[in-house]
Amino acid sequence: MYKITISDRLLHFKYPAGTSRGVYTTHHSYYVRLEADGLIGIGECSPLPDLSCDAMPDERYEKILRHICHFVERTGGIPYEMLRPYPSMLFGIETAFAQVDAGGSTGLFDTPFAHGEEGITINGLVWMGTFEEMYERLAEKLEAGFHCVKLKIGAIDWEREITLIRHIREHFDKTQIELRVDANGGFTPENAMQRLETLAKYDIHSIEQPIRQHQWHEMTRLCKESPLPIALDEELIGVNRPDQKLRLLDTIHPAYLVLKPSLHGGMAGCREWIKRAQERGIGSWITSALESNVGLNAVAQFCADVYGPHITMPQGLGTGLLYTDNIEMPLEIKGDKLWFLKNS
């Protein structure tokens, strides 16, 4: 017999989290608590306002989530096809089931990471802000031991952003620091190529989503002509059916996909993306999407299962210190690796 209860929580950022879409100061998450066979599993449903394909007013979101949870209680399984339009709900329910299947452990899969035997290499994340704020945050990441840093760009003055990147490269070459940039769609089709050519001078690993999504013709041209590898992120949101995924990959053919289970189809949907991308020689990595530590742990456990063991490409899992009121989970960042503390 299955029983699911739903709760919610308003999380508060330690510092405003700036992207080219705006600034986050709080984040609202829902939690599903699954009881089955004397075991408990908890998953996080965490849509991003104005971005997730299942973002909607709280009252409507909760109503749909309750309806789906009642369906799960009656049937005893996850209705994957029903949940394709609701990736954040699917991810939360998948997480709860995975924890029950793991005997109630938050080490969701049988991996060296879940056994506390190896960490996952992650990138340091520098949010948008003033030039001085970004410089200070960058210095903190380098001092902490990160060898891959992702900079959010596209919101402050372009010339100052390039000055910051130039400064980094004057002191650290690409063998010392791998630089990724994320424009969150902040460039335009008109200025994107010029900016990509400028960024390419500084040994940038890749750029995420240079222009806003749903401009397939322009994005296809950029991916074909850019001197800098392009990774798709927001472009994947709402592309939930297998046939849609194939059409996007075969049309745009990016260098990389940046996968977020809460946005891109839960664990099942991300496995589809990874399989089809690999068949086409397209790389990928996984990142969290501002979840609390409940969701972050699930993303990390999934990452270890799908890419591990011995993950060498830095993943985007360094968001556990974002909130003043986060939920305790046995996760710890040591240097540039995220570890699961099995016995804590």
| Structure confidence by residue, pLDDT tens digits, 73-110 | 999 999 999 999 999 999 999 999 999 999 999 999 99
**DSSP helix, strand, coil percent of the chain (3-state; round to 5):** 35, 25, 40
Residue 70, pLDDT > 70, answer yes
Judged against a pLDDT cut of 90, whether residue 227 lies above it is answered with yes
Q: How far is CA 285 from the centre of its chain?
A: 9
302-328 average pLDDT score: 92
Please list the residue range(s) of the chain that carry CATH number 3.30.390.10. 2-101
Segment 20-30, tens digit of pLDDT: 566 788 999 99
- pLDDT for 152 equals 86
CATH topology for 2-101? Answer: Enolase-like; domain 1 (3.30.390)
Task: Indicate if the pLDDT at residue 131 is higher than 90.
Answer: no
Interatomic CA distance for residues 261 and 150, integer angstroms:
19
141: confidence class by pLDDT, cuts 50, 70, 90 = confident
- Out of 141, 150, 245, 260, the active site residue is 260
Is 141 assigned a catalytic role? no
Fold exhibited by the domain 120-340 = TIM Barrel (3.20.20)
Is the pLDDT score of 125 beyond 90? no
**324 vs 183: CA distance, rounded Å:** 26
pTM score? 0.94
> pLDDT at residue 320 above 80?
no
Please determine, for residue 50, whether its predicted confidence score (pLDDT) is greater than 90. no
pLDDT of residue 21: 64
- The mean per-residue pLDDT over the stretch 245-274 comes to 98
pLDDT band, residue 155 (cuts 50/70/90): low
Is 334 one of the annotated active-site residues of the chain?
no
Please, what is the average pLDDT of the chain? 93
Q: What is the pLDDT of residue 344?
A: 56
- Other CB atoms within 10 A of residue 135 CB: 17
Q: How far apart are CA 101 and CA 336, in angstroms?
A: 30
pLDDT at 113: 98
Task: Find the catalytic residue in 141, 152, 245, 337.
Answer: 152
pLDDT in tens, 12-49: 998 777 665 667 889 999 999 999 989 999 999 999 99
Helix, strand counts (H, E) of the chain: 10, 13
The structure tokens listed for 234 are: 């927001």
Q: Residue 17: what pLDDT? A: 72
pLDDT at 9: 97
Domain with CATH 3.20.20.120 in the chain: 120-340
E-state strands within 172-303: 178-182, 204-208, 230-232, 256-259, 283-286
Instruction: Please state, for a pLDDT cut of 70, what percent of the chain lies above it.
Output: 97
Question: DSSP 3-state assignment of 181?
Answer: strand
53-66: per-residue pLDDT in tens? 999 999 999 999 99
**Helices 216-225 & 192-200, crossing angle to 10 degrees?**
30
Of all residues in the chain, what percent carry a pLDDT higher than 90? Answer: 80
Q: What is the pLDDT of residue 326?
A: 95
Answer whether 195's CB lies under 8 Å from 153's CB: no
